[in-house]
Amino acid sequence: MPFTGDPKRYQELRDKVLGGWAGKNIGGTMGGPLEGRKELMDYDFYPKLPDGPLANDDLDLQLVWLHALETYGPRLGAVELAQEWQEHVFFPYDEYGYALTNMRKGLRPPVSGWFDNPFTDCMGAPIRSEIWAMVCPGEPELAAYYAYQDGITDHAGGEGVYGEMFFAAIESAAFVQSDPTQLIETGLSVIPQHSRVARAVRDTIAWHKQGLDWKECREKILEHHGRSNFTDAPQNIAFTILGWLYGTNFGDSISKAVNCGYDTDCTGATLGAILGIIHGFNALPGKWKEPLGDRVVVSPAVRGFPAPATLEELTERTLRVAQEVKAYWSGRPRPQVASLWNQRPQSNTYWIPQNSQGASGLEVTIHYGDDGPAAYPGETVRLTLELRNHSTDSWDGQVRFELPAGWKGDQEVAYALPPGETQRATITLEAPPPSSARGSSDPARAIREDFALPVYRVGMRVERNHNGFFWAADRQELSLVRKVRWEIQSPSGERKTLIVPASRVDVAEAFSTLEEGVYRLRTTISVPSPRKSRLVIGTGNPVRVSLDGEQVFDDPNPADPTTAPAYHRGRGVTVELSQGKHNLEIELVHSGQHALDAQSLVLFFTLVATHEGKQPGPFFSYVDAIIG
C-alpha cells in the first residue's frame, strides 16, 4: 500500500500498522506463559491476565531493528544489523547466544549466523518479520529481502531464514489483500519449495483441505515435521498456519495456534500480527486489547537505545521509516529473492569502496570452506579469495594480507579486472606452533603469548592502482577462531586426537568402529583471570565431568541426542576457575539402545558466564578463554 496524500488511505495504513503491533503484543502475551509445553492445550484467553503486555523477544528485537533503520537508513544490511546486536542485545538464548559469540569474535554475517551454531533451523528469526513488512507495505519481495538480511545474522544456512522471509512476505502482502490462500502462496513464493518450511506449510494446507479437524492436523504436523526442540521453525510455522486456517475469528485463531504447544509465544504473536495487519487495530476485539493497553514492555537484556514507550509511538516511528524506505527504493529495481537462496553461509563479502554495496566498485569475497573461519597452532589454513569488478572501469592492484606475529603464508595477490570480470585465488596461511611460553611459570603470559589466543586477526588491505602507481586502499579485518584439540580414548584404550572447528565434537569420527563402554575426552581450559564459569555439556549419553582431577558433574541418565545445548539451559555445572590452565576430562557412557548409534556419540562443550552479573545479559560466552 503506497503512501499518498490521501488522508483516508494514510489512516487505513496507520490502522493496519498499529493493528499488527497490537496483535503481536496480544499473541505473545497469550503464548508467553505456555512456551515450551508440548502437550495439546485448551485455552481460549490469556492463561495469566497481566497488568499490561509481557516482555517478549519477538517484539524486543524488532525495536532494535527500528532503531537500526532510523540510524543507518534503508540501505542497511546484515552487517549493520550485526553491529546493533553487539550494542543492544544481550540475550543468551539458543541461536542468539551462539551468533552473538561469533559477532564478538569478529565474525560477520552470514558466517556469524552459521558457524558453530546448532540452532539455525529455529524460531529466533521468523518471529521478527513484522518490521520488514511494515516498512515495505504491499512490497512482499522487498520485505523478504530485508528479512533475509536480518535472518542470516544468526540463522544463516538454516530454515530460520526461510521462515522469516515467508512471514515477512505474507505480512507485507496483507496490507493490500486478505485472502489466506493467496497470502500463504505469496509467502511460499519467496522461499525454496524444497525447504522444510515450505513442505510443512503445504502439508498443513493439504490436511486442512482433506477435512481433518485441527487436532488431527496438529498430530500430522508432529508426525511428519516434528522435532524434539520445541523452537524448531517448520513445525511452529505450520502451527501458525493451522491456527489461521482453522480459526473462526481472531481469538479462536490465536488460541488454536497456541494450544498446539511448543514455541507458543512465537506462534501466537506472529498470527496475531498477521490478523492485526489484515483487519486493522480498530477491528481487533476489545476483550483482547483492553487488558494490555498501549504500553510497550522491553526485556532488561535489550538496552542502550530509545525504545518506543507505547504502541502509538512505535506506529508513528514505523511509518516515518516506511516513508524513507519507499523514497529510497523509488525507481530502483527490487532485489530478486531467489538469487539469495543459494548464497553460501561459509563466505563473507566486502564491498570496495566500503559500504558501496556493489553499486560501482569491487566485490571481495572470502570463502572459508566447511570448517569455517577456524585455525589451530601449527595448522595450514586455505581460503579462497574471489574478486569481481562491478565498475564500468578496469581495476588493478593488490590484495595484501597482514598476518599475526609468527604466521607465514601468502601476503599479496595481484589482480587485474576489466568491467564485469571475476578473479579467484587460493590463499594459504600457516599458523605457528604453540608458544614456548606455554611452559612458563606465568600462566597469564602463556595465554597472552599463545597468539591471542582464542581469535587470530588477519588484516586484508585491498589496494587499487592508477597508471601503474598506488592510488587508494581499503582495509578490512578477518577473524579466524582458534580450533579445539581433544584427546579421546575408546573403551578398549585406543587413543586418537581430534581438532575440531568449535564446540561440537563428533567422537565417532575418530574411530572406525564403535564400542560399548566409556569414552574419555580430555582437553584444557585456559583463562587470563579468575572467574565463576558454567561448563555447558551437550550429549545424549550419561556423562561425568572432572576438572583438574576432581569430579564436578555426574549425570547417569541418557538424554535426547538430537537436543543441542543452549548457554542458559540443559546440562551444565558451575565452577570456579583460577587464572591459568586447567585440565578437563569428560566421560561419555556409550551403551544400551544407543550403543551402535553414532549420533549419540556427539558432544557439545563451551564455557559461559553464570546467571549472576551487574548488568543484564546472563550466560554470555567468554571470548578471552582458550579451550584446547
Cβ–Cβ under 8 Å, residues 103 and 89: no
Rounded to whole angstroms, how far apart are CA atoms 299 and 616?
A: 9
What integer pLDDT is reported at residue 52 of this predicted model? 80
CATH code for the domain of 493: 3.90.182.10
- Same domain membership, residue 400 and residue 321: no
Nearest one of 59, 56, 31 to 45, comparing CA atoms: 31
Give how many domains the chain has, as a whole number: 3
Q: Of 465, 480, 495, which residue sits at a domain end?
A: 480
Rounded to whole angstroms, how far apart are CA atoms 551 and 367?
A: 42
Tens digits of residue pLDDT in 125-182: 999 999 999 999 999 999 999 999 999 999 999 999 999 999 999 999 999 999 999 9
- Same domain membership, residue 539 and residue 492: yes
Helices 311-329 and 7-31, interaxial angle, to 10°?
Answer: 120
**7 in a structural domain:** no
Ranges of H-type helices in 213-362: 214-225, 233-246, 250-259, 264-279, 286-289, 311-329
Cβ–Cβ under 8 Å, residues 478 and 578: no
- Same domain membership, residue 542 and residue 462: no
**5 in a structural domain:** no
3-state secondary structure of 397: strand
Rounded to whole angstroms, how far apart are CA atoms 487 and 145?
A: 44
Rounded to whole angstroms, how far apart are CA atoms 219 and 575?
A: 42
**3 in a structural domain:** no
- Same domain membership, residue 267 and residue 161: yes
**354 in a structural domain:** yes
Largest CA distance in the chain: 79
C-alpha grid cell, residue 289 = 486489547
Nearest one of 452, 486, 450 to 605, comparing CA atoms: 486
CATH code for the domain of 184: 1.10.4080.10
Q: Of 292, 309, 337, which residue sits at a domain end?
A: 337
Cβ–Cβ under 8 Å, residues 182 and 145: no
C-alpha grid cell, residue 533 = 564459569
Domain boundaries, position 580: 484-627
* DSSP secondary structure letters along 409-475: E--EEEEEE-TT-EEEEEEEEEPPPPPGGGGSS-HHHHHHHTTSTTEEEEEEEEEEEETTEEEEEEE
What integer pLDDT is reported at residue 532 of this predicted model? 94
Q: Residue 397, by phi and psi: left (phi above 0), alpha (psi -120 to 50) or beta?
A: left
Ranges of H-type helices in 283-429: 286-289, 311-329
Residue with cell 549419540: 600
What integer pLDDT is reported at residue 48 of this predicted model? 86
Q: Of 447, 480, 513, which residue sits at a domain end?
A: 480
The DSSP symbol for 335 reads: P
Rounded to whole angstroms, how far apart are CA atoms 453 and 475?
A: 22
* DSSP secondary structure letters along 74-88: TT--HHHHHHHHHHH
Chain centroid to CA 365: 21
Rounded to whole angstroms, how far apart are CA atoms 304 and 354?
A: 26
At position 269, the amino acid (one-letter code) is: A
**305 in a structural domain:** yes
- Same domain membership, residue 465 and residue 494: no
What integer pLDDT is reported at residue 436 of this predicted model? 46
At position 475, the amino acid (one-letter code) is: R
What integer pLDDT is reported at residue 604 of this predicted model? 94
Show the CA angle centred on residue 457, arms to residues 454 and 461, nearest 5°: 170
Nearest one of 400, 502, 414 to 458, comparing CA atoms: 400
- Same domain membership, residue 473 and residue 492: no
**426 in a structural domain:** yes
Sorted by sequence, the CB contacts under 8 Å of residue 227 that are 6+ apart come out as: 121, 234, 235, 562
- Same domain membership, residue 200 and residue 144: yes
CATH code for the domain of 403: 2.60.40.1230
- Same domain membership, residue 510 and residue 378: no
- Same domain membership, residue 584 and residue 502: yes
Show the CA angle centred on residue 429, arms to residues 423 and 430, nearest 5°: 165
Nearest one of 284, 241, 270 to 27, comparing CA atoms: 270
Which helix or strand (DSSP H or E) is residue 187 part of? Answer: helix 180-188
Rounded to whole angstroms, how far apart are CA atoms 164 and 122?
A: 10
| Reduced 3-state DSSP string for 478-497 | EEEEECEEEEEECCCCCEEE
Q: Which regions of the chain are under pLDDT 50?
A: 1, 436-440, 447-451, 595-596
**4 in a structural domain:** no
Instruction: Give the N- to C-terminal CA distance of the chain in Å, as an integer.
Output: 56
- Same domain membership, residue 177 and residue 74: yes
Nearest one of 564, 525, 527, 514 to 547, comparing CA atoms: 525
- Same domain membership, residue 489 and residue 366: no
Chain centroid to CA 123: 9
The 10 Å Cβ neighbour count of residue 171 is: 31
- Same domain membership, residue 594 and residue 507: yes
C-alpha grid cell, residue 195 = 525447504
| Backbone phi, psi, residue 66, to 5° | -60, -45
Rounded to whole angstroms, how far apart are CA atoms 532 and 552?
A: 14
3-state secondary structure of 569: strand
Q: Is the dihedral of CA 375, 378, 379, 383 positive or negative?
A: positive
**1 in a structural domain:** no
The percent of the chain in helix, strand and coil, each rounded to the nearest 5, is 35, 25, 40
pTM tops 0.85: yes
Cβ–Cβ under 8 Å, residues 288 and 250: yes
Strand order across the 422-430 sheet: 347-352, 362-367, 380-389, 422-430, 408-409
Nearest one of 526, 536, 379 to 439, comparing CA atoms: 526
Nearest one of 144, 94, 82, 100 to 118, comparing CA atoms: 94
Residue with cell 578473479: 423
Cβ–Cβ under 8 Å, residues 560 and 599: no
